[in-house]
Amino acid sequence: MAIVVAASADAIKSAAALVLLAVVLHNGLGLALGYGAGKLARLGAPASRAMAFEVGMQNSGLAASLAAAHFSPLAALPAAVFSVWHNVSGAVVAAWMAYRARRTETG
């Protein structure tokens, strides 16, 4: 990922806000839609939480590699940003879901 970011330094500066917004929305919608689909399918809370992460967390390393190989380093930029972002958001959402689950269990 560092190579992708280094090769796209100037592009990152000019497109940073738009790429970050797209990445955050993509990840947030994936987590929410995955959880919602689990709830709609009546899978229960643990399975709905698992579904949220299955949908919300994509293989950004593969996406960056394919984009850099077949397009340009700039095309790999969203995947490189996503690979960092989804680790942060995934940890925060998992902690929040665990907190809510514990709170629900204790009444």
Q: How far is CA 42 from the centre of its chain?
A: 24
Whole-number percent of the chain with pLDDT over 90: 45
pLDDT digit string (tens) for 6-16?
766 776 677 77
Q: One-letter amino acid identity for 68?
A: A
The C-alpha atoms of residue 3 and residue 7 are separated, in whole angstroms, by 6
User: Exposure string (b/e) for 23-60, b if CB count within 10 Å is 16 or more?
Assistant: beebbeebbeebbeebeeeeeeeeebbebbbebbbbeb
Instruction: Give the pLDDT confidence of 57-70 residue by residue, as tens digits.
Output: 888 888 888 888 89
The CA distance from 102 to 92, in Å, is: 15
For 12-38, the pLDDT digits (tens) are 677 778 888 999 999 999 999 999 999
